[in-house]
Amino acid sequence: MLRRLYTQLAGPSFGAIFARIAAGSALVQAAGMGLALIVGMLLARALGAHGLGIYSLGMSVVALLSVPTEFGLPTYLMREVATAHVRQDWGRLRTVVSWCTRAIFLSSIAVTVAACLCLAFAGPSIGQELTLTILAALPLVLLVALTKAREAALQGMNLQPLAQIPMLIGRPGTFLTVLALAVFGFGFALDASQAMMLHSFSMALVAAAITLLYRARISTRSSWPQDSTFDGRGAVRAALPMALTEGLRVMNGHIAIFMLGFLASPTAVGIYKVADAVCILCALPVFVLSNVVAPQIARLHVAGDVARLGSLVSYVALSMTVGSLAMAMPVVFFGIDILSLLFGPGFGDAYLPMIILCIGYAASAMMGPSLAYMNLTGREQTVTRAFAVSFLANLVLGAAAVSIAGATGAALTNVVCYLIWNGWLWREAKRQAKVDTSLLPAMQELLAWRRA
């Protein structure tokens, strides 16, 4: 039986190829999330709840600054590279990658200069500790954007999970090494800004590594001719809905941090980040399968294979749900012990937010890879509308919930808004494309197969 399974997985069929990619990406993402959790543990113990909150606020500021820098270009780049790769249009591929790289570099410089000017005026009002932390994080604006662009290009060239290794494993792994060396090797007592400086240094190493990897993959085709028909303005117009969507997604993901920081305290931010760090592991199946299925969605859409595309996303939704529930069970039953063991005795208040977030991730998984499907089949405007509604709900509900319940209120708001945009996209996929991205078609097919 095992030999037959191995033979099937080693075959050239679409299912075998997808299974190999999924397995490789699962290993990469699991390793990356494990490393990120260890980084979070070390930061929590080194900085405490207050210091971790300041560090998290700095990271959230950088995430917002990255929205105009990336401008939706990584998603656009993966889609265009995947299309060019399927059609073997190497000139188009080279042109798109070069143009996106230049655009990201120039926008990063502009955004960083603007951020420095803002800090010069607003620094006294937000405090020296947070100001220094944000300054230390500004190099991440350019470094992360360039790394994501290279990753998207490699994914579009069907080089998963290789493309994911620098960002998912290299980034937390390098930061963990540098951080552990500073704390344990040299005995430094770090504050939030110093930890952020180490993060920026680590990210520079990762950006250099993925650039070398990308150049090595295209070195044999360095003579590709440029595509003279490429329209930069057209690329901006195509990326604009993705930029709006990404901006709303990032704001949805980080608005809880800002509300906790300004309506509660940095300590409440640290509590919430610890809860979220554990729950990210519960969402591992969702992230793994969404990243794996994204290039396949683009390819099947270009090929016009609607039947296989619908079947693929539904079975992915079923796998997401089963995986998320399996990962959530230990957290639900042993959450307090997990928090104490991993982060220390000062983070017990993270238990209830952690449970709420785990339940939310599992419920959202039932609706499948709706975001990837809508983005990669040319329905970016629908995605933007869904995130806009979710963002408005986040603002209205979040302010009240955070004021009343702190980190627990932030977790509740995050789950409600996550379900709003995911449910919206699931409904619109059914209405516009007649494709059900949820687990229901897969379950119906399995039940019919069992009865037969």
Higher-scoring residue by pLDDT: 221, 330: 330
Question: Lowest mean pLDDT: which of 11-15, 292-296, 410-414?
Answer: 11-15
Is pTM beyond 0.95 here? Answer: no
Task: Provide mean pLDDT across the span 197-220.
Answer: 87
- Which bin fits 368, alpha (ψ -120 to 50), beta or left (φ > 0)? left
Cβ atoms within 10 A of the Cβ of 125, count? Answer: 8
* DSSP string for 253-288: HHHHHHHIIIII-HHHHHHHHHHHHHHHHHTHHHHH
Measured between alpha carbons, how far is 426 from 297 in angstroms, rounded to an integer? 15
Question: Lowest mean pLDDT: which of 23-27, 398-402, 419-423?
Answer: 23-27
Looking at residue 172, its pLDDT comes to 92
Looking at residue 411, its pLDDT comes to 93
Task: Provide mean pLDDT across the span 306-330.
Answer: 89
Looking at residue 408, its pLDDT comes to 93
pLDDT of 264-310, one tens digit each?
888 999 999 999 888 887 887 888 788 778 778 877 887 787 888 88
Question: CB under 8 Å to 390, separation ≥6 — which residues?
Answer: 248, 252, 417, 418, 420, 421, 424
Position 147 pLDDT exceeds 70: yes
Could you tell me what percent of the chain has a pLDDT over 70?
90
Inter-residue contact 136 to 196 (CB < 8 Å): yes
Task: Provide mean pLDDT across the span 149-178.
Answer: 84
Measured between alpha carbons, how far is 78 from 219 in angstroms, rounded to an integer? 19
Higher-scoring residue by pLDDT: 230, 287: 287
- Which bin fits 378, alpha (ψ -120 to 50), beta or left (φ > 0)? left
Position 10 pLDDT exceeds 70: no
pLDDT band, residue 127 (cuts 50/70/90): confident
DSSP label of 245? H
pLDDT band, residue 28 (cuts 50/70/90): confident
Q: Which two tokens stand for residue 124?
A: 């006294």
pLDDT of 348-367, one tens digit each?
889 999 999 998 988 989 99
Task: Provide mean pLDDT across the span 88-107.
Answer: 81
Inter-residue contact 49 to 186 (CB < 8 Å): no
Closest by Cα among 99, 77, 198, 73 to 139: 198
* Inter-CA distances, 417 with 29, 244, 317, 397, 423, Å: 25, 17, 19, 9, 10
DSSP label of 332? H
Q: Which two tokens stand for residue 120?
A: 């010069």
Closest by Cα among 149, 64, 56 to 111: 64
Higher-scoring residue by pLDDT: 67, 354: 354
Position 236 pLDDT exceeds 80: no
